[in-house]
Copies of this chain bind each other. A is one copy, B any other.
């Protein structure tokens, strides 16, 4: 299909998009920002809110804000804001600490919930690395063996020795969506716990934590949830596990009576048990404010747009980019696709640098993967078309240049 036709199609799709107006809620510029799967864009109202948090809540109310500005209860309050986006009833999510720290809490707690006779922990062999590193530490410190397994083999690998499996809902590199309902059910049938990492799915597609019987989950908030750089992560503890949830990080914020300041530890009831120390209030309240952009949004609409966007981007790439120059690592099947497109490309570092220079911002996963994240709240179809068009130009120049150089043409890439 010609460029003209695809541009016209993009304009039509944008005009029909029920989420198109959400884009106005964000601080964006002329760039096509396809890196929201790494750092979500700034919601435009957050700066004013944070100015108030800093100048009034910290600067004037100071210590009183722990009560009067609701700082103390922010971790569970914000958890309840995230809950509907991941299909969780209230009271099961607390916000705080990094994803890595929450992976540690979740995997250790899962091992303890499973019991001492289950001495293996499965981990997604294709995981974002920190999950694997931390799961290894959790296994070491709970006397268990860590077994890396490809996500599609987790169900078959789970057995009577399996305590738990830690799996990514969407693969950070390829954008592949894993079968959360099926894997969770297989783990349950084997008597093991399912621990899901939602970093690349929450805010991009329905998760259904409660509906699918997930045991524990973690996720970050700075990607599709737009919470800001390094915004605190969250921990989901299904209600049925809360009474026996035994945290390896039982800090005073998870105590039943934190201001009693007793030397003995008594865990709080509920998801509060996942709290640890004093929460980083500035980052946390930026996240809380950022979540306003979700008011009135259906995650099913987000998913529909996400799939339409990645379909359309792949269609434009096929139309524009020379055959063989890039290869999609992202599954065609909707049931297996998250909200990003990953393209393998020989000259990926040079291509991504030039794309960014021309206002199409994706990112690179070494050595050869171009990642393009599609955030349905602020990316449109015209963005997708433009990104593919600029990619085609850049690929032609960079690969062409490389061929010239290889043949002695001397052109610098």
CB within 8 Å of B: which residues of A?
A: 27, 29, 33, 35, 38-39, 41-42, 46-47, 50-51, 54-55, 57-60, 62-66, 71, 97-101, 104, 108, 125, 127-130, 132-134, 136-137, 141-142, 148, 173, 220, 222, 228-233, 247-253, 255, 259-263, 265, 276-284, 286, 356, 361, 363, 365-366
Contact = CB atoms under 8 A, between A and B. Distances in A.
A141 B248 contact: yes
Contacts of A127: 263
24 contacts: A27-B55, A29-B60, A38-B63, A39-B62, A39-B63, A42-B54, A42-B55, A42-B58, A42-B62, A47-B54, A54-B286, A64-B356, A66-B229, A71-B229, A98-B251, A101-B249, A130-B251, A130-B253, A133-B265, A134-B249, A136-B250, A137-B248, A141-B248, A229-B278
A400 to B, nearest CB: 27
Given A255-B133, A263-B129, A220 B278 contact: yes
Given A47-B51, A97-B97, A133-B251, 9 more contacts: A38-B63, A41-B59, A47-B54, A58-B228, A71-B230, A98-B278, A125-B263, A229-B278, A230-B280
A50 to B, nearest CB: 6
A62 B47 CA distance: 14
A14 to B, nearest CB: 22
A281 B63 contact: no
Most B C-beta atoms less than 10 A away, residue of A104, A229, A233, A278: A229
A228 B282 contact: yes
B59 A54 contact: no
Contacts of A255: 129, 133
B62 A35 contact: yes
Contact of A361 (B54, B57, B62, B282): B62
Contacts of A260: 366
B27 A59 contact: yes
Contacts of A282: 50, 228-231, 280, 282-283, 286
4 closest Cβ pairs, A-B complex? A98-B277, A100-B277, A100-B251, A229-B281
